[in-house]
A and B are shown apart, each in its own frame.
Chain A
Amino acid sequence: MMRRLGSIVALAAVALLAGCERYATPESLRGTGAPIALTSQSITLPDETVTLPASAEIVTVNCTACHSPDLILSQPKLKPEQWQAEVTKMRGAYKATIDEKDDGKIVAALLALQK
């Protein structure tokens, strides 16, 4: 299904294509085959501007160390047991330090955010 570029193509493309092997069937590809220049990259991510209301402080404290609250606010209306399953998953699978004693308050606050 693949074929090495023949010497004719290699000659035509001179050094640019040397060492380049292409998929060359119907699933073949466009592109120049030119080498990809790699240069160091650095970025800065945008600041978060979404915060939860003071009434949901227990959610802010327990949930937003690991992720921003916008995803919480964009969930569909979830039942109490669905929110509880999320809290349980964060504690069990992702080792979030959420005190089980606070689960009821956290779930209630999450439900209130969706009202």
Chain B
Amino acid sequence: MAEWLRQPIARRSALTLGAGALASSPLWAQSLVDLGFSQGDGRRPLTDAFPGKRGMILQRVRAPLLETPMAAFDGELGASTFTPNDRFFVRWHYADIPLSVDVDSFRLQVGGAVKHPLSLSLKQLQSLPQVEIAAVNQCSGNSRGAFGPRVAGAQWGNGAIGNALWTGVRLRDLLERAGVAPGAVQVQFAGLDRPPGDAPWFAKSLAIDHARADEVIVAYGMNGAQLPLLNGFPLRLIVPGWFSTYWVKALDRITVLAAPDTGYWMDKAYRIPATPRANVVPGAKDFPTVPIGRMLPRAFFTRADVGAVRGIALGGAAGVAKVDWSIDGGKSWHPAQLGPDAGRYGFRRWAASVPPGAQTVAVRTTNTNGETQRFDPIWNPGGYMRNSIETMKVTRA
């Protein structure tokens, strides 16, 4: 069984790690985990110190980067697939994040190329038709630490991901109320976080047709409660099937654009090679790029021991059609059992009846569009969009 599944690996009182690891462990960290990276550099503190969060893997204090331990996703096939709000991963770009939001004075602005700009209170927003959708939120750089050759950036394991039931209003309903002007091409989203100095404000944009799609919502609810501040209270854009960079937190500004967004966060950042699986030869430069968008299918282990081999799967921008496992390096595949379907954009639980003996188990998801996973790893300089097949060593009785 891989070291990273055996989290936590050590209580603080029993630490026997080197000085290097200790130097990066805040005093308030309770224990350490090991994400199992190639250079033995996967050790991270596990922390309860962030408000509304517990048992999170600390990647960075300021601006907060908190990863969910894989064990937090584990459960029987029939268990809920929703990630508890207090275990849901956290990722902010800039240190100046909203630490206090007053629900009475907060306003959501809808402007730009519209006939009737809106300034909505939360009460007004909540008077619109309420919808719900289960959807996986995954960081573009989830699993970056597994890239080879390694790339700079947040060294996430597999836990920059979570699934929640999001409650809110359709973006389309807001746009209809504002009256989109003819010639609109994109809709831009920005929140309450602020850049340092002259750094570019964080903003992301979707094509106008995508913004009007059924499933794109402005959420005020996460698993039946208001969002934690660290996950974007009071409002967050939910873009099912798409990477988290578009899921703008503490959303307070929606701007309809008559020309494509040429801001830094669309034009320079979060771009991937315009190749299948965003894959290029390691070290490649000067290839055509496109903004990252749809997610791909993945399957993760949440437990692999004598008692069970099981985990979670996502279809990406489509539902999970099947999850298969192999113990012969992919020569033959066997269907895993699947848990209940709680929505095409959500997690699906899987379990594998692996025969006795020492095995290396591989697991792969195929989605309802026929997209599947491959063994060969991808590489790109941003460390984005990894979806290679995961494997785990296990001895079954």
Contact B131 A21 (CB under 8 A): yes
Residues from 43 to 66 in B contacting A, C-beta threshold 8 Å: 44, 47, 49-52, 58-65
- In-complex Cβ contact of A45 among B25, B99, B151, B234 (8 A): B99
Q: How far is the CA of A78 from the CA of B131 in the complex (A)?
A: 46
Closest A residue to B20 by CB, please name it: A73
Interface residues in chain B, defined as those with a beta carbon under 8 Å from any beta carbon in chain A: 20, 23-28, 37-39, 41, 44, 47, 49-52, 58-65, 80, 82, 94-95, 99-104, 122, 126-127, 129-134, 145, 150-152, 154-155, 165, 167, 195-200, 214, 220-221, 223-226, 229-230, 233-234, 264, 268-269, 319, 341-346
User: Inside 8 A of A32's CB, which chain B residues have their CB?
Assistant: 224
Question: CA–CA, A50 to B49, complex, Å?
Answer: 14
Known: A36-B226, A49-B28, A77-B150. A2 touches B63 (CB 8 A): no
**Size category, A interface:** 35 or more
17 A-B contacts, Cβ less than 8 Å apart?
Answer: A2-B214, A38-B234, A40-B102, A41-B100, A41-B233, A43-B230, A45-B51, A46-B61, A48-B61, A49-B28, A65-B196, A67-B95, A73-B23, A74-B59, A76-B150, A77-B39, A77-B150
- A39 close to B (CB within 8 Å): yes
Among A7-15, A23-31, A101-109, the one that faces the other chain is A23-31
Q: What are the residues of chain A within 8 A of B127 when measuring CB–CB?
A: 19
Report A-chain residues with C-beta under 8 Å of the C-beta of B51. Answer: 43-45
Rounded to whole angstroms, the CA-CA distance of A26 and B223 in the bound complex is 18
Contact B155–A31 (Cβ < 8 Å): no
- Say yes or no: A27-B343 contact (C-beta < 8 A), given A21-B129, A49-B27, A77-B150: yes
Contact A1 B134 (CB under 8 A): no
The answer on a CB contact under 8 Å between B62 and A67 is yes
Decide: A93 and B62 in contact? CB cutoff 8 A: no
B-side interface mostly: loop
The smallest beta-carbon distance between A32 and chain B, in angstroms, is 6
Partner among A27, A65, A70 whose Cβ is within 8 Å of the Cβ of B345? A27
B342 touches A29 (CB 8 A): yes
Q: Is A42 an interface residue (CB 8 A)?
A: yes
Q: Which residues of A contact B94 (CB under 8 A)?
A: 66
Nearest chain A CB to B168 CB, angstrom units: 9
CB nearest to A65 among chain B residues: B196
A97→B197 contact, CB < 8 A: yes
Known A-B contacts: A38-B234, A73-B20. Give 6 more (CB < 8 A): A35-B126, A38-B103, A38-B122, A43-B229, A86-B152, A93-B200
* B150 to A, closest residue via Cβ: A76
B155 and A75 contact, CB distance less than 8 A: yes
Give the CA-CA distance A21 to B131 in the complex, in Å: 5
Known: A46-B49, A48-B61. Is A27-B134 also a contact (CB below 8 A)?
yes
CB distance from B231 to the nearest CB of A (A): 11
9 shortest interchain CB distances as A-B pairs: A76-B150, A36-B221, A43-B51, A46-B49, A95-B198, A68-B62, A42-B100, A27-B343, A49-B26
Instruction: Please report which residues of chain A, range 67-85, place their CB below 8 angstroms from some CB of chain B when the two chains form the complex.
Output: 67-68, 70-71, 73-78, 82-83, 85
Most buried by B among A71, A78, A86: A71
From A40, A85, A93, residue with most partner B Cβ within 10 Å: A40
| Whole-angstrom CA separation of A70 from B23 in the bound complex | 9
CB distance from B280 to the nearest CB of A (A): 16
Complexed CA–CA distance, A22 and B166 (Å): 11
